[in-house]
Amino acid sequence: MTLPYAEPLVRRELQPRVIPEPLRVGEPGGDPCGLCSWLSGLDDTARDAEDKPLWYDADWALCRATGVTIPGVVWLTSRAHHDSFADLPDALARSYGPMIARVERAILALGDIARVHVYRWGDGSAHFHVWFYPRPLGMLEAKREMLPLWAEVLPEAPKEVVADAEDKIAAALAADS
Ligand SMILES: [Zn+2]
């Protein structure tokens, strides 16, 4: 039993399917893509550093999460608007592998981490992004898909600890080009 909840848990009944599904943000016909507007103008020197990704190049941006419970949780997004792997231009798809390897190395360099989980859900925004969740060393309850569930229920980590981890990840990424 590795769920972050005590027994007894009662399995819920599946609800009837909702078809068509509600439009996601950034989907054609849906609300405008907030990521596209946030990612535009990154080279504006007047812009506050806190309002910029942790790190970015012409293709990718590594971003802070909010309400972080496990320091080192970050997410990577494409600079341009594409929905999923199936939609990435070939050059971007080719750079994805080396890019997530760099992010994984940067997170592992924080130390005290057993594994870095990479999740691509895409159910919220239609702008391509993947999540990186470092599983703390020895936190065996949080193996596999349990990690994001635990991340939801753990107390928020001190902001300075989160910021320190983010700064280290950004520096490691910049040094590993
Ligand atoms: Zn977008």
Distance 88 CA to ligand 1 centre (A): 13
Question: For residue range 36-92, what is the model confidence (pLDDT) as tens digits?
Answer: 999 998 888 888 988 899 999 999 999 999 999 999 999 999 999 999 999 999 999
Q: Cβ-count burial of 70 within 10 angstroms (0-12 exposed, 13-18 middle, 19+ buried)?
A: buried
pLDDT of residue 46: 85
Question: For residue range 123-157, what is the model confidence (pLDDT) as tens digits?
Answer: 999 999 999 999 999 999 999 999 999 999 999 99
Whole-structure pTM value = 0.95
Distance 28 CA to ligand 1 centre (A): 11
- What value does the mean pLDDT take over residues 9-28? 95
Q: Domains in the chain, ordered, with CATH?
A: 34-175 (3.30.428.10)
Q: Say whether pLDDT at 27 is over 80.
A: yes
Distance 34 CA to ligand 1 centre (A): 7
pLDDT of residue 18: 97
Distance 110 CA to ligand 1 centre (A): 30
